[in-house]
Structure 1
Amino acid sequence: MTTLTLVFLLALALFPAVVGLAGSRAAADAARYLPPVAATVLLTTFAVTVSVAVETMLSLSAYLGTVDLFPAAHPHDWSTPILRATLPIPHAAGLATGALAVILLGRTGVHLIRVVVGARRTAAAAAALPAVGGLAIVDDTAAHAYAVPGRNRRVVVSTGILRLLTGPQRRALLAHEQAHLRHHHHRYAQLTRLAAAANPLTALIAPAVDHAIERWADAAAVRAVGDPSTVAHALGRAALGRPAAPPHRPGAAHDHPHGLGAAHDHVVDRVHDLLDPLLRQTRAGVLLAVATMLCWASTAAVVLYIHGVIELAEATVAR
């Protein structure tokens, strides 16, 4: 392998990590300036793609860097010297990337278990609440409202938030929460958090997706009531009435991250967007789509090249 080829292969291998870091830093702007549906889908796809690509690169580096240290880990019809000569990854690098890959996979597994357990607990608590037509009202002075997905999906609202809102604002509230259920917003949120567990470089994408999801539900509420100012006022009242750290109650608002008054860091932006919509920009969406495709392309190129090297090592033994 020439030095130029090795450098090019290294650049391809590092590309997903570099692009993931850059995309994570630009995620907040994408969530605000792109249409909410596009922002949610593109950011989620990008986060998952980067995480899969980085984990793939780490695993390949670990395997190729330690292939001669663990003979039982590869078939005997390979020429290990040819493989090592063609892809001279240092043992230290192979061991380090292997350890990192295992750690990240472990983080992903732990996060997945926590998500499943938490979702079951929240669903069970919400299912125990009396509901009519998918709406459960809890006697609670704290202002909160949230949607619980799953088999017994429902919207849970407190008497506290109902007292704060007018009739039209209540309709906006219910339309907002029902949009979360109808469009399966929890899946996007969970996928981006799972991607962040697998690759911390994408950690900033999860809150950006939360912002985009809330804007998506806000838009659905506007369509339902026909007045952006009604939704904006409902959002402001819900945010002001919702305690920063409510005590734990079965099925309480903090068990689910999305609600009309959730995502406090984005309330001002969301209200501003409702009352004075920003000029939408498509450039960020195009860049995200291109970066996602290039991540897949770079990963495929590295995998195909390594596959070719392995075939060469097999052919050498066959001769």
Structure 2
Amino acid sequence: MNDEYLNVQKTSSALYPPIEPFAVDRLAVGEGHELYLEQSGNRDGIPAVFLHGGPGAGCGPSHRRFFDPERYRIILFDQRGCGRSRPHASIEHNSTWDLVADMERIRAHLGIDRWLVFGGSWGSTLALAYAETYPERVSALVLRGIFLCRPEEIAWFYQQGASWIFPDHWRDFLAPIPESEHGDLLQAYHRRLTGSDAETRLAAAKAWSIWEGRCATLLPDPDIRRTFSDERLALSLARIECHYFVHQAFLRPNQLLEDAPRLSEIPGVIVHGRYDLICPLRSAWELAAAWPRASLEVIADAGHAAFEPGIARALVAATDRMAAELDPERPSAESMG
């Protein structure tokens, strides 16, 4: 799930000031994929990797602003097929475990021993998959909008559940699909998003992307339809999300929750909007119960999006708290300014 392109103006006071990267790179990871990779903040700071949503979205300048640039070495990358990575919208050799392997390649390429992993929505899924595979490489986790990619979570948003809350938006989501195919909307969309007709692919991609964007915030955002109608974003978001979800994110049922004991030595913060209707609160609640070292903060006046004011404040507070715990000797930007 993705919310990374929503307007951040209203939350700018909760975030650190904008910064530019000190290094930009492209990293070949095999099978024809090349990832966009950037670093910003303090070259000698606490390594932290940001995992964007989707799968199929991408990272942007605002994502650097969740981290104190005096304390953190901030690493952003676009996952396979996303953003500035190439080839765009590719679903070939693109799975959860390809992305986990890519993270290890990036870590080794940058000479990092352990890093804080920050992920929201699909980024929380990938963060958990990585941390449960390589717990010794994770110093801390900051997660938002928990999405465990279980069949019932996928069905909630793409078959029946959220459709009861947003029947008007759901009508538009159904528009590209004949009624005879409404019994399995994931497969119906998959056929169109992977088909040979470009016009059909784009129409399906826009309907899929706009549905998600409209449901992301507690209060309507007037820019959402325009943003999520962007052809480049819609194609990568819809194609890659649908590819992952028809394959249950390449996870066995309930895998991330069953493997949560592997997180036992990792401190964490979970931030979740009370009225998150893309990824309902139950998954965050269950994860927190299975992971004693994590604290759960439920934001009373928020939906799913990272840049809703209460969520943004809680995420910045979480990275500040982790910085103080991981490197208590290093002064913060606030104390220096």
TM-score interval w.r.t. the shorter chain?
under 0.3
Instruction: Determine which structure has more spread, i.e. the larger CA radius of gyration.
Output: 1
- Output the TM-score relative to the length of structure 1: 0.27
- Answer 1 or 2: which has greater helix percent: 1
**Which structure is higher in RCO with an 8 Å CA cutoff and minimum separation 6?**
1
- Output the TM-score relative to the length of structure 2: 0.26
- Answer 1 or 2: which has greater strand percent: 2
